[in-house]
Structure 1
Amino acid sequence: MIMIAGPSAADTSDPIGVLILLAVLGAAAVCLGGRWAFNLRGAVDSTLARRRAALELRGQRTGDLSLADTKSLSPVFFRYVGSVIAVAGLAMLGLSLILATG
């Protein structure tokens, strides 16, 4: 026999931990995406330098020394990705605010 009970404690609880996690992840996305989107402190330049160094190491391991020259991304790509990440972070912050007040 199936018994239907009234509202339980799980129905009335607030998912405050999830809202805090959503807000923290949104703030982190805004900060990191903003660094790439606006190239704060040379974030795009340092990312491209790290990527190029990793490609050079991979080229040395495989014996293909032209690997770093053929696979390059422009700074515009990283700025675009950074702006998308920043906007998504703002959406996450807005969502957590709406859910917290609603």
Structure 2
Amino acid sequence: MMRRLGRDFRLLWAGQTISLAGDQVATLAVPSIAILVLHAGGWQVGLLTAIGYIACPLLGPFAGVAADRYRRRRILIACDLVRLVVFATVAAASATGRIDYLSPCPSPPH
């Protein structure tokens, strides 16, 4: 069956499979890093998760315009590269012990 599909589709399918697997790892890893490394509380993890989900409705209209105007392949590659840079930055900060500076969430008032 895969033999009948074109080479471009197989490359797209493989790339998107890897990208989605990375998304699922990040969905677990980002809150885990916040809890285990930064000792974030429930409020902070909830805020971090909300920030991650609010990007879709805020950036969605702009992404739709870009998808209509530019080549979709370049958009997919650019988005994956930006995501790679962001997660590599978090990993590098964690490895060097500087992840404390990336904590944008203040403690909630009691």
TM-score (norm 1): 0.32
Structure (1 or 2) with the larger CA radius of gyration:
1
> Which structure has more RCO (C-alpha within 8 Å, separation ≥ 6)?
1
For normalisation by structure 2, the TM-score amounts to 0.30
